[in-house]
Amino acid sequence: MLAAKTVMEQGVHVEGINFFTGFCVEGHTHAIREKDKAKPKRNNALWVAEQLGIKLHIVDVIEEYKKVLINPKHGYGANMNPCLDCKIFMVNKAKQWISENGFDYIITGEVIGQRPMSQRKWTMPIIAEQSGADDRLLRPLCAKNLAPTLPEREGWVDREKLHSITGRSRKPQMAMAEKFGLKDYAQPAGGCCFLTDKFYSAKLVDLWTARQSKDYELDDVMLLKVGRHIRPKPHFKMIIAREEGEGRFMEGYRRDFISMVCTSHTGPMVLLDGEPSAEDLYLAASITARYGQGKNADQVDMTIRDKDGSERTIQVKPLAGEKLPEEWVI
Amino acid sequence: MIKEVLNARRLLCPLPVIRTQDKVKQLQPGDQLEVICTDPGVMQDIPAWCRINGHTVLETRSGDHEYVIVLEVGSC
Ligand code: SF4
């Protein structure tokens, strides 16, 4: 946002590109969870574009992003975030986009030293080179600390009016935002990506381990954001809705998974991922019963629905014990 | 003038916006598009996307966990 504003002040025409990897935080969770309903439902990229008065192009990169996440050349960050490869990928996509749409160069809001892995002085040339953008990649917020790029050398932008911000402190950016009159300065990078989340990353690793394959579909990515995930046995996992909104969302997946719900008492919607046996179904039903109103009953009715829609009801005793074994909870 | 309907049910934001963007690219100025969604976030995101890109929201309505936005394609 500040990078765009910096060059726009010089009369440069800027348009925004936002890449949707499937792991972006905004949007999804509020759509599902009641507890998030109080939070603003705005999409940050759209909001920023509107504040700046520029067009925004949202690009679906879900399929192409798989190869970045599954096999990152530069490895992962603190969690399953492949930030450096991700940036190289996105700048490369932006480079393709500008050449198809008649733009001259790319700007990003990167700052040297802001992020431990992907925003270091040594990563800046790597991103420029490996993305193929080379010197058509301008970082207006720290340009003065880097070699002049094509737009600076050609005089398309005045290097003197660019910045030399470094380090983790966001104070210079805050001051700049205030100078530009931008009140609700957008969320810092990283907080908008599920891959930087420890709990989400653990669920993703569990999924890959259980399937013995580092692959995923968009539906997998979505379902990892929903419900409590419990794996009582290596070959099947339960996704237990935590509230009505999640249950409604999960109902859309009943053709893809075996599902169960308690019919004698109020209880959550549950999806089963994997190949549970008849015995496993009984165990899953007794676990499900723990999360409903019948948790203290001697017996509850659990209706199990197969993917083809056929249903049967079994009677189970809710699983006893204070807590579920820790190793089951993902 | 063409009137089209886009089914964006079960998609979570920003996918309904992306699908709307892609559909609008195939339409002409003055054409109308009705987008039917289940993610309540579209009530903010699609109008914001329209404002940014010069399209007009003609109608928004909701009920029975569905959210419908009717827009008219702008000239830019
Ligand atoms: S935090 Fe940002 S750079 Fe890192 S993986 Fe997520 S989207 Fe990519």
Residues A231-263 have pLDDT tens digits of 999 999 999 999 988 898 899 999 999 999 999
In this prediction, residue A191 carries a pLDDT of 62
Q: Which of the pair, A296 or A26, is modelled with greater confidence?
A: A296
Residue nearest to atom 7 of ligand 1 (CA): A193
Specify the ligand 1 atom closest to the Cα of A196: 1
**Long-range contact pairs involving A243-248 (C-beta distance under 8 Å, separation at least 24):** A243/A33, A243/A34, A243/A35, A244/A34, A245/A32, A245/A33, A245/A34, A246/A32, A246/A33, A248/B65
Residue nearest to atom 1 of ligand 1 (CA): A190
A87 lines ligand 1 (CB under 6 A): yes
Question: Which residue on chain B is closest to A52 by alpha carbon?
Answer: B52
Q: Is the pLDDT of residue A35 over 70?
A: no
Mean per-residue pLDDT, A8-16: 97
In this prediction, residue A174 carries a pLDDT of 87
| DSSP element (H, E) containing A97 | helix A83-101
Domains parsed from chain A with CATH numbers: 2-194 (3.40.50.620), 226-328 (no CATH)
Residue A43 to residue B21, Cβ atoms within 8 A:
no
A298-315: per-residue pLDDT in tens? Answer: 999 999 999 999 999 999
d(CA A280, CA A283): 5
In this prediction, residue A33 carries a pLDDT of 67
In this prediction, residue A6 carries a pLDDT of 96
Residue A57 to residue B13, Cβ atoms within 8 A:
no
Mean per-residue pLDDT, A193-218: 94
A165-201: per-residue pLDDT in tens? Answer: 988 888 888 888 888 888 776 555 446 789 999 999 9
Is B13 annotated as catalytic? yes
Residue A43 to residue B41, Cβ atoms within 8 A:
yes
Q: Is the pLDDT of residue A164 over 80?
A: yes
What global pTM score does this model have?
0.90
DSSP E strands in A67-136: the ranges are 106-107
A225-236: per-residue pLDDT in tens? Answer: 999 999 999 999
In this prediction, residue A34 carries a pLDDT of 63
d(CA B48, CA B70): 13
Encoded tokens for A149: 């790029």
C-alpha gyration radius of chain A: 24
Question: Which residue on chain A is closest to B39 by alpha carbon?
Answer: A31
C-alpha gyration radius of chain B: 11
In this prediction, residue A199 carries a pLDDT of 93
The amino acid sitting at A144 is K
Q: Is the pLDDT of residue B65 over 60?
A: yes
Of the candidates B7, B15, B72, the residue with the CA atom closest to the CA atom of residue B41: B15
Q: Is the pLDDT of residue A36 over 70?
A: no
Q: A57-95 burial string, b = 16+ CB within 10 Å, else e? A: bbbbebeebbebbeebebebbebbbbbbbbbbbbbbbbb
- Cα separation values, A113 from A163, A228, A231, B11, B50, Å: 14, 36, 39, 37, 37
Instruction: Provide the pLDDT confidence category of residue A100 given band limits of 50, 70 and 90.
Output: very high
Q: Is the pLDDT of residue A7 over 90?
A: yes
Instruction: Provide the pLDDT confidence category of residue A24 given band limits of 50, 70 and 90.
Output: confident
Domains parsed from chain B with CATH numbers: 3-72 (3.30.110.40)
* Percent of chain A predicted with pLDDT > 90: 76
A11 φ, ψ to 5°? 85, 15
- The Cα of B49 is separated from the nearest Cα of chain A by a number of Å equal to 6
What 3-state class would DSSP assign to A280?
helix
Q: Which of the pair, A119 or A156, is modelled with greater confidence?
A: A156
- The Cα of A312 is separated from the nearest Cα of chain B by a number of Å equal to 27
d(CA A231, CA A9): 54
Contact yes or no for A294/A267 (Cβ under 8 A): yes
d(CA A110, CA A9): 18
Residue B12 to residue A47, Cβ atoms within 8 A:
no
Q: Which residue has the tokens 């500008």?
A: A98
In this prediction, residue A173 carries a pLDDT of 87
Q: Which of the pair, A266 or A115, is modelled with greater confidence?
A: A266
A190 lines ligand 1 (CB under 6 A): yes
In this prediction, residue A31 carries a pLDDT of 57
In this prediction, residue A256 carries a pLDDT of 95
A193 lines ligand 1 (CB under 6 A): yes
